[in-house]
Amino acid sequence: MTFGLWQGRAFPGYRLANEPNTLVRNDLVTPRAKPARDFYASVFGFTLDGNPTLPDLDFTFLRRQDGYEIGGIMGLADAKSLWATTFEVVDTDATLARAGSTVPPEDTPYGRSATLTDPFGVEFSVIARP
């Protein structure tokens, strides 16, 4: 898997997050979660926190040194390694309808979510948080 690094300088990146129609998070899904946790903690200095809400899930939150949550790492034995992007929406069902999706949404402890595929074949998720 390849990824890039970017030093923002005059353009720091996205300015809005964690509100409707903006990025919520990026999560690494991988069958090799431990080496991934070690790598990202070492390279970026992220702290790693378990997920007490879903203790049966192999998921670790990634946080910056100031405690801000930037994403996570999910260990799935049969997964292909990829980054999963989630956007917040006001209404998951309405978003699915506008996208013409027949994918059923799922209620999770974090909100109502669904995974969609864009016209280019790229999957992403949406969530309406309570």
Match 């946790």 to its residue by tokens. 37
Predicted confidence band of residue 1 (pLDDT cuts 50, 70, 90)? low
- pTM to 2 decimals? 0.85
Cα distance between residue 125 and residue 111, in whole Å: 12
Distance between CA atoms of residues 48 and 79, nearest Å: 21
Length of the chain counted residue by residue: 130
Write down the pLDDT at residue 113.
Answer: 97
pLDDT, tens digit, for every residue of 77-98? 999 999 999 999 999 999 999 9
pLDDT digits (tens, 9 = 90+) for 10-22: 887 777 888 899 9
Q: What is the pLDDT of residue 4?
A: 83
Residue ranges of E strands in 39-81: 47-49, 59-63, 69-75
Amino acid identity at 75: G
pLDDT in tens, 26-65: 999 999 999 999 999 999 999 999 888 888 889 999 999 9
Provide mean pLDDT across the span 72-77: 95
Domains of the chain are 17-84 (3.10.180.10), 89-130 (3.10.180.10)
pLDDT tens digits along 92-123: 999 999 999 989 999 999 999 999 999 999 99
